[in-house]
Structures are given as structure tokens and as C-alpha cells.
Structure 1
Amino acid sequence: MSYEHPLAYLIGIEGLALLRGFTGEFDREFTEARIAEVRRLLDDEALADGVEVERLDTVTGYDRWAATYDNPANAAFALDEPILEEILEALPPGDALDAACGTGRYSRILARRGHRVIGVDSSPAMLAQARGGDFRLGDLTALPVADASVDLVTCGLALTHVADLGPVLAEFARVLRPGGHAVLCDVHPEAVARGSIPSLRGPDGQPGRLASHRHLVGDYLRAALAAGLTALRCEEPCPPPKDAAPATTEPGPWELWPWSLAALVPDAARAAGRSTPALLVWDFQLPEM
């Protein structure tokens, strides 16, 4: 179990904003407003109680999420798919593995581009939503795919749930043919640190979040290099600017945390999140023999 207290998030956001002010991004008026806002938050009785949250493994969590995973409200899709498509544009059709394929979102993109696709996922419920391909139940550390059998590996929004990147990147290198690419899109470590972790209710209503890990940019690179992969490209897309949301005085339901909490401190949230990446995208290659 973890414990999520609204003040822990709100004061953390205020602290990030204050650090930016301290290092010269904002003026005295902004800093004094943030300190005053912290005092107000500490006195707000609506923010007095936290929530006990279950930490879910990927199979349990994604089995619960499967029926609604492809909901268009998932903002990450609008960020990772354009970069994925751009990278794929330069690669000829071939044999592709969609690792942690989920409902087959990437698999459909690959098939549309002429690739022969194998999809692998550990969640039976997610695989039940996938259609029109060779989908297999399996784990990222033991892929049910032969050595040197694919030209391309894709993996979207999954590696943040892996505690150790090394064995997974080694598996990707194992199944790739020489010259093949591994295109990986993941939640940026800055986003994970700020609470971008999927929330799910259990059958009894118990709040739960998928187990997630904050891998630094260098962690991916070190794991890839150890597996014999070469980095060709790294992107850190930021969310597009949004119109300012109306401020609120209510924390909102737990399912909407931390985003509904951010609306309590819109100026601090906007300052803390300015130019902060949401995703991390890699194009790695296994060198030719």
C-alpha cells in the first residue's frame, strides 16, 4: 500500500514552482504568492485526509483496465504515435514484434505499414481486445519469439512498469536481426515523478495504481548499450500548451488525482510543469554483423 495525501502533491508542486523562482525564472511577487498559497492549503480542511492506494502488478492492473484502455481520453496517444509514425516512415516493411502490445494499438499501425506483426503481452484481458494479428501471451523478460527473427521491435508505454530495464532490452536485442531497430516509447521520468501513473479501482472500489518506476534517461541508454544496441534517436515530447483551466476549491475524486488537485493551484502547476516532457522516445539499432 502507498498513501496519497493531497497536501503532499500540492506542496510538492508549490515547491517545484518555488525552485524555479529561486533559480531566476519568476519574480518576487510570484514567490510570495506561492508561499501564501502554501499557508492557505495547510489550513484547508478539505485537504486534511489522504487515501490508501494498492500497488498493482501489470497483469492485474491491465486486466482491470483492458475494457477502457483505448479510450480517446488517453492523452499519451497523441504524443507517441506521431513520433512512432515518423520513425517507421524510414523503415521498410518486415517482421515486427510489438512487445507489451496491449490491445494492439501499435500492432495496427505496423500492420497498416505492411509489417508482419507478432504481438506479445502478459495481460490476457488486453490480448482479448486485440484483433487481426498473431498475438501471444508472454513476458517481456522471456518473449515467446525466436532469436534473430524480427527486423523491428516496438514497445509503447510499458517499460515504466519494469523494475530492471536490463533483461528486457537484452530480450529485444536477442530477437532482433542485425541491423534491426527497437523503437521504445515510454512515460518520461519527470512525468512519473509528478504522478503520471494510471489509477484503477478494484472490484471492491479499492483505489489502485499500476506499479511504476522512474527510470532516468541514462538508465535506458545504459541498458541498451549493455545489450549491444546503438542509440540513433531520442525525443522528449512535451504536452501542447493548454488554455488555463478554471481554478477550483475542491480536490475532486481520487480517480482524477493528481490532475484535479493541480486545478487548486493553477499558477504553481503551470510554472512547475512548463517545458516538462511527458514521454521519452528512443530509436535503437542492433548493429550489422
Structure 2
Amino acid sequence: MSYEHPLAYLVGIEGAALLRAFTGEHDREFVEARLAEIRALLADEGLAKGVEVAQLAPRDGYARWAAAYDSGENAAFADEPHVAAILDAIPPGRALDAACGTGRLTRLLVERGHRVVAVDGSPEMLSHAEADSTFVADLHELPVDDGSQDVVLCGLALPHVPDLMPVVAEFARVLAPGGHLVLSDVHPEQVQRGSIPSVRTDGGDPARVRTRQHRVGDYLRAFFAAGLAPVSCQEPRPAPAEPRYVPGGGPWDLWPWSLNGLVPDALAAAAKDVPSLLIWHCRKAG
């Protein structure tokens, strides 16, 4: 169980903005405005209530999210054009979409002529995917033979595993010599800022899918240990957008995005040049 408080988030954003001012990015007027805004936030009785939030295992969380996963807005789906551009340069072959979810990236493989095995730990998510074959399986034990895949694709899944090393080693096991690993994940900087899937429990209580903050170096160490050579690393930035103002910060289901409109200047400073995604292309030695 975790505890989420709107003031904790808002003061955290203000703090991130003030740290950037401390290193020379902003002037005295900006700093004094931030301090005044913090005082006003602390005095706002409408922001005085926090929420106890359950931490769900990924399989349980995504089972609850499956029906609505492809509906509504999800900024993380901005990975698709970047993943597509990498796949465009890879010849058709045998491909595994690991943690395929509802199959939104499986579609990119199928469209490019690959023979696709789609795997996910959630039967509810997997039921929406369309591939040559599908399996309910864990990322630590992929149901394919050693060296049998020309491409392994994995999108928005690795922040949910506690340790990258064994999962990346499993990707390397199933890749053929010269094979390609393509990964897309929410950037760890965004995870730190609250970009974590939210769902409701069967009883309607707030819950989030358990998520870890893997650093860029964690990925590199896992690649090198598994004999995978990075070809490219992209860190796309989010498209500019005005934070939405929701009086009082809105309901928990919209946190933290609905809180951002309460501190637009602090958010702009704290979020400047912070990447939204982390996208890797690696190859196994031939």
C-alpha cells in the first residue's frame, strides 16, 4: 500500500523547478513566485486529503485494464512511430512480441510481413491480440526455442519487472545470431514523476500497477551481460501541451495529470527537456 497526497506531488514539482533555478536556469522573480505558490498550496484546504493506494502485480492490474486499454488517451503510445521506423529497416522474419498486451505493436510486425508469436502474462490482454500464435507466459520463461527468433519486440513492460538482467538474458536466449531486440518503455524520469498505470480494485479502491524506475545504465548493463550490442537509443520528448486545469486537482483517477494545471509555470520548468520515452534497438552477435 502506498499513500498519494496531492500536495506531495505539487510540492515535488515545485521543488524540481526550484532545483533548476538553483543551477542557474531561472531568476529571482521565478524563485519567489515558486515559494509564494508553495505557501498558497499549503494553505489550500481542498488539497489536504491524501489517498491510500494498493500496489497490484502486473498480471492483476492489466487484467482490470484490458477492456479499456486501447481506448482514451495514453501518451506512452507515442512510441509507435519510433518503433515502426526501426522495424522498417529489419527484413521480415520470425518475430516475438513479448508482453504484447492487446497487440498494438504486434500489428506493426504483422504489417511488415513477420511471422509473429505474441506472448503476454495477462490472458485478458492477450485475448485482444492478433498473431500467428499466442501464449500466456511470463517474460522470464518465453515459450520459444533457443535462437528461434529474428526479432524480439517488447513495449511498455520492463518497468514492471524488478530486475532487467534475467529478462534481457531471456530475450537474448531466443534471438538468432544477428537478431534484433527492439524495446520501448516509459522513460525512468517520467516514472519518477508519476507515470504509472492506475486502475481500480474489484471493490472500487484506487490501485496502481507495480512499477520500478530502471535507469538507462541498468538497461546497458543488462544488454552487455546478455551479449547484446546497442545500435541506437532514443529518448523522445513529449509533444508540447498545455496542462489541463481541473478545479481542486480532480479525482484520484486523473492524478497526477489533473494536478499539473494547478502549477503550470513550475511544471514547465520542471519538465523542460525531460524525455517521455526510452527506445532501444540492440543486436545479438552474429
Q: TM class, shorter-chain normalised?
A: over 0.9
Are 2:53 and 1:44 aligned?
no
Q: Which residue of 2 aligns with 1:190?
A: 189
* Shift in Å, 1:27: 1.2
Alignment-mate amino acid for residue 267 of structure 2: A
Q: What does 1:101-116 align with in structure 2 at a 5 Å threshold?
A: 101-116=100-115
* Shift in Å, 1:22: 1.0
* Shift in Å, 1:209: 0.3
Q: Secondary structure at 1:280's aligned position in 2?
A: strand
Alignment-mate amino acid for residue 45 of structure 1: E
Q: Which residue of 1 aligns with 2:212?
A: 213
Structure 1 segments unaligned to the other structure (5+ residues): none
* Shift in Å, 1:248: 4.8
Q: What does 1:61-100 align with in structure 2 at a 5 Å threshold?
A: 61-77=61-77, 79-100=78-99
Q: Which residue of 2 aligns with 1:9?
A: 9
* Shift in Å, 1:245: 3.8
* Shift in Å, 1:247: 4.3
Q: Which residue of 1 aligns with 2:272?
A: 274
* Shift in Å, 1:72: 4.5
Alignment-mate amino acid for residue 68 of structure 1: A
* Shift in Å, 1:159: 0.1
* Alignment length (residue pairs): 286
Looking at structure 1, the residues matched to 54 and 223 of structure 2 have their Cα atoms a distance apart, in angstroms, of: 31
TM-score scaled by structure 2? 0.98
Q: Which residue of 2 aligns with 1:27?
A: 27
* Shift in Å, 1:132: 4.4
Alignment-mate amino acid for residue 47 of structure 2: L
Deviations 1:176-209 (A, max 9, x none): 0000010000011100000000110112111000
Looking at structure 2, the residues matched to 72 and 120 of structure 1 have their Cα atoms a distance apart, in angstroms, of: 24
Q: Which residue of 1 aligns with 2:136?
A: 137
Check the 8 A contact 1:247/1:265 in 2, yes or no: no
Q: Which residue of 1 aligns with 2:55?
A: 55
Check the 8 A contact 2:96/2:152 in 1, yes or no: yes
Q: Secondary structure at 2:248's aligned position in 1?
A: coil
TM-score scaled by structure 1? 0.97
Q: Secondary structure at 1:129's aligned position in 2?
A: coil
Q: Secondary structure at 2:166's aligned position in 1?
A: helix
Alignment-mate amino acid for residue 25 of structure 1: E
Looking at structure 2, the residues matched to 249 and 27 of structure 1 have their Cα atoms a distance apart, in angstroms, of: 29
Looking at structure 2, the residues matched to 90 and 153 of structure 1 have their Cα atoms a distance apart, in angstroms, of: 14
Alignment-mate amino acid for residue 106 of structure 1: L
Which of 255, 261, 264 in structure 1 is aligned with 2:262?
A: 264
Looking at structure 2, the residues matched to 40 and 175 of structure 1 have their Cα atoms a distance apart, in angstroms, of: 56
Q: Identity across aligned pairs (percent)?
A: 61
Q: What does 1:131-210 align with in structure 2 at a 5 Å threshold?
A: 131-210=130-209
Structure 2 segments unaligned to the other structure (5+ residues): none
Alignment-mate amino acid for residue 14 of structure 1: E
Alignment-mate amino acid for residue 189 of structure 1: P
Are 2:282 and 1:284 aligned?
yes
